[in-house]
């Protein structure tokens, strides 16, 4: 059964819930709620990573490392400290990662595909896990970033090269996770192809994390009957289908917003698997 990574966006502009948890108290309360709903990890970010393209326009707004640290560290201190939560810091800045690890985080979630060696060095120094999410550029969903000869083979190859960089920086292989980066520098159909090929990622021997939750590719693949795209908070059905595929593929973690619903889903999937194994 995959563990659930609950998303906490301490940002004003994240695509799904921008501004809702910018206040540290609101973020902490949300983290407590996610833990109660079954989150195994809290993935906390202080800068949006929404990609540029036809859905989100120019994409995320860059913030300084100082601002990002000010947003996330008070939240991490409470959730990792008082509540003993496993916390992942979603950042592309080594100084933010180091501050978050010092505050109690134990995982770095790197959405830039190990572009900055400093992130891996911070993880190695702290003995932290390291998630490598596949990406190109800033995740723009347009050429040349979406130009692949074979999206599954190309993403796998680029992730494995990134894993080599991370390991050379001192992170042990056992601490490395791979994330195919659904929705980042990928069209909806390319994301669907990756979601349908998760077994190939598992065969690498690395742990696999997948983040399908509420993403625009879900809306594009399942538009409303009138043709309009459902809003981010109206993509629960498609997200659930994606998470069910992840559970069936045996991935190690799924990054989600709706922890309560997805916890029920993965537990139900596990019960079905157990029932099938016990039948003659």
State pLDDT tens for residues 173-215. 999 999 999 999 999 999 999 999 999 999 999 999 999 999 9
Distant-in-sequence, close-in-space partners of 255: CB < 8 Å, separation ≥ 6: 5, 7, 43, 179, 209, 210, 211, 213
Return the closest-CA partner of residue 100 out of 68, 125, 76, 66: 76
Print the SS3 string covering the chain: CCEEEEEEECCCCCCCCCCCCCCHHHHHHHHHHHHHHCCCEEEEECCCCCCCECCCECCCCCCCHHHHHHHHHHHHHHHHHHCCCEEEEECCCHHHHHHHHHHCCCEEEECCCCCCHHHHHHHHHHCCEEEEECCCCCCCCCCCCCCCCCHHHHHHHHHHHHHHHHHHCCCCHHHEEEECCCCCCCCHHHHHHHHCCHHHHHCCCCEEEECCCCCHHHHHHCCCCCCCCCCHHHCHHHHHHHHHHHHHHCCCEEEECCHHHHHHHHHHHHHHHHHHHCCC
> Which residue of the set 136, 138, 214, 215 is catalytic?
215
Between CA 214 and CA 227 the distance in angstroms is 18
Between CA 135 and CA 193 the distance in angstroms is 16
pTM assigned to the model: 0.92
| Active site annotation includes 215 | yes
Report cis status (omega within 30 of 0) of the bond before 170. Answer: no
State the residue range of the domain holding 107: 3-277
Partnered with residue 172 across adjacent β-strands are none
> Which residue of the set 71, 138, 186, 255 is catalytic?
255
CATH number at residue 272: 3.20.20.20
Q: How many domains does the chain have?
A: 1
Q: Is the pLDDT of residue 168 over 80?
A: yes
The model's pLDDT over 217-256, given as tens digits with 9 standing for 90+, comes to 999 999 999 999 999 999 999 999 999 999 999 999 999 9
Contact 73, 103 (CB under 8 A): yes
Q: What is the pLDDT at residue 16? A: 61
- Rounded to the nearest integer, the mean pLDDT of the chain is 93
Q: What is the pLDDT at residue 56? A: 46
More confident position, 21 or 245: 245
């Amino acid at each position: 059964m995959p563990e659930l990574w609950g998303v906490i966006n301490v940002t004003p502009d994240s695509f799904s819930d921008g501004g809702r948890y910018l206040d540290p108290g609101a973020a902490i309360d949300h983290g407590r709620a996610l833990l109660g709903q079954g989150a195994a990890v809290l993935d906390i970010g202080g800068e949006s990573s929404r990609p540029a393209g036809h859905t989100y326009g120019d994409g995320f707004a860059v913030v300084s490392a100082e601002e990002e640290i000010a947003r996330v560290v008070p939240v991490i201190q409470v959730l990792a400290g008082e509540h003993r939560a496993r916390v992942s810091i979603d950042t592309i800045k080594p100084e933010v990662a180091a501050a978050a690890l010092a505050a109690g985080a134990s995982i770095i979630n790197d959405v830039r595909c190990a572009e900055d060696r400093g992130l891996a060095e911070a993880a190695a120094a702290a003995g932290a896990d390291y998630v490598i999410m596949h990406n190109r550029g800033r995740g723009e969903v347009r050429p040349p970033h979406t130009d692949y000869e074979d999206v599954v083979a190309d993403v796998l190859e680029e992730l494995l090269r990134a894993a080599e960089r991370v390991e050379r920086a001192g992170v042990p292989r056992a601490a490395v996770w791979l994330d195919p980066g659904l929705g980042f520098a990928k069209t909806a159909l390319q994301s669907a192809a990756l979601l349908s090929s998760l077994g190939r990622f598992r065969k690498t021997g690395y742990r696999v994390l997948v983040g399908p939750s509420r993403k625009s590719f879900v809306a594009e693949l399942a538009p409303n009957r009138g043709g309009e795209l459902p809003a981010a908070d109206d993509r629960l059905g498609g997200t659930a289908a994606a998470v069910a595929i992840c559970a069936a593929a045996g991935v190690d973690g799924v990054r989600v917003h709706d922890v309560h619903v997805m916890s029920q889903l993965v537990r139900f999937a596990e019960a079905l698997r157990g029932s099938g194994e016990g039948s003659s």
